[in-house]
Copies of this chain bind each other. A is one copy, B any other.
Amino acid sequence: MPDANRQIVLDQLPQGRLLAEHFRLTESEPPRPGAGEALLRTRYISLDAANRAWMQGATYRSALNAGQVMAGGALAEVVEADSPDLKPGDLVFADTGWQDYAVLPAKRLSKLPNLQPATHLLSVYGVAGLTAYFGLLECGRPKAGETVVVSAAAGSVGSLVGQIAKIKGCRAVGIAGGEEKGRWLTGELGFDQAIDYKAGDFKKQIRELGGIDVYFDNVGGDVFEACLFAMNTFGRIACCGAVSQYDGTAPQHGPRGVPGLIVTKRLTLQGFIMSDFAEKNDQALADLQSWVASGQLKVQEDVIDGFENLPQALVGLLAGENRGKRMVKVS
C-alpha cells in the first residue's frame, strides 16, 4: 500500500488572472477504498482550459472552492477495486483531482482499451478527441467544400478540428496566437490557412476569408465577434468554450450582433460538451483510430514531467504556451 498521497490544493480562488501561487502542495494519508469503491493511482493528469472555468462558478459541474484538492481528469491505474469489472493494472479515465491517489465509486469507472501510447487515451481518444469530433460533426455539420474556422487552433481540440475538417473535404482555417503556431498548423497539420489573432489586421483577415460556414469556437470574446460578423447565411457555430473569458473577471458585455446577426444570417449556435453524444462514442473512436492509423490525423501531445509542475502547467496553458494536448506525467 502507498504510504503518502501528494495533493495540490486550490488555496485561494483567483480574482483576476490565475497564478501558481493560488495553489499549494500538501500531503495526506492515502485514501482507503470501501465497499463498491476503487483505489486509483494517477498516471497522467489532463490540463484543460475548463479547469479555470470551474473556478468561476457552477458550470456543467459544481464550482470549485478554496481549500479543495484541485479538480481535474486523469488517466489512472486501478490499484484495487471492489468490482468484477476492474482489476489491478487496468487503466481508467477519472476525475481524480490533482493527487497521487483517489478513491471513487467503481461503477462510475470503465476500463479503457490497451492502446499505445497510453497518453493517446487523454488526447485523441479522450476528451479532446471526442470534443473535436462531436463538436465539428454533430454541431458544425460541415459539408465538403465549406469553410471551417476554428479558434485556439493549436490547442488540443482545435488542432484536431482542423484536421477532421480536411478529412471531410472542407477548407480549414485555424486561428492561433503568433506566426510560429500558424506555420505549424499549415506546415505540419495541413490547415489551408492560419490567422494570428494578435495581428493588427486580424479582423480584416477574417473578413477576407469570403464567408465562414462553420465556426468552432473555443475562445469567445472578440474572436467570436469577428467570426460572427463573417458567417455565411445558414452558418453553424459550435460553442465549445470561451477561454478568453475564463482567466479574469467576468466580462461586462457580450459580442455585438447577438441576436441580430443570428436572425438575419439564420445562424445556428449550439453549445455542447462531449458527453452529450456518449451514445455515439464507439463510432467516434473507430473513426479517430482509423484516421490516426492512416496518418490523416496527427496527434500532438505536450507532456510535462513532475506532479509539482501542475500549477505552472495550467497557468501556461491559459497563456497559450502549449501545442496540442497538455498533460502532466505523475507516475
Say yes or no: is A224 at the interface (Cβ < 8 Å to chain B): yes
What CA separation (Å) do A36 and B266 show in the bound complex?
A: 32
Which among A19-27, A99-107, A239-247 touches the partner chain? A239-247
What CA separation (Å) do A242 and B258 show in the bound complex?
A: 9
List residues of chain B with CB within 8 A of the CB of A284: none
Which among A190-198, A269-277, A297-305 touches the partner chain? A269-277
Q: Smallest distance from the beta carbon of A84 to chain B beta carbons, Å? A: 33
From B253, B256, B264, B271, contact of A60 by CB (8 A): B264
Say yes or no: is A268 at the interface (Cβ < 8 Å to chain B): yes
Binary per-residue interface labels of chain A (1-24) against chain B in the complex, 1 for a CB within 8 Å, 0 otherwise: 000000000000000000000000
* Contact between B259 and A266, CB atoms less than 8 A apart: no
Q: Smallest distance from the beta carbon of A188 to chain B beta carbons, Å? A: 29
Say yes or no: is A295 at the interface (Cβ < 8 Å to chain B): no
Binary per-residue interface labels of chain A (198-228) against chain B in the complex, 1 for a CB within 8 Å, 0 otherwise: 0000000000000000000100100011000
List residues of chain B with CB within 8 A of the CB of A233: 60
* Contact between A59 and B264, CB atoms less than 8 A apart: yes
Task: Kindly report how many copies of this chain are found in the complex they form together.
Answer: 2
Say yes or no: is A117 at the interface (Cβ < 8 Å to chain B): no
Interface range for A: 35 or more
Say yes or no: is A169 at the interface (Cβ < 8 Å to chain B): no
What CA separation (Å) do A245 and B255 show in the bound complex?
A: 14
**Considering only CB atoms, which chain B residue lies closest to A265 in the complex?**
B271
Known: A255-B254, A256-B253. A266 touches B272 (CB 8 A): yes
Of the candidates A260, A265, A273, the one having the most CB atoms from chain B within 10 angstroms of its own CB is A260
**Considering only CB atoms, which chain B residue lies closest to A250 in the complex?**
B256
Sampled A-B contacts (24; CB under 8 Å): A59-B264, A60-B233, A60-B264, A60-B266, A220-B258, A224-B258, A225-B254, A239-B259, A239-B263, A240-B263, A245-B260, A251-B256, A253-B256, A254-B254, A254-B258, A255-B258, A261-B271, A262-B271, A263-B271, A263-B272, A267-B269, A268-B270, A268-B271, A269-B270
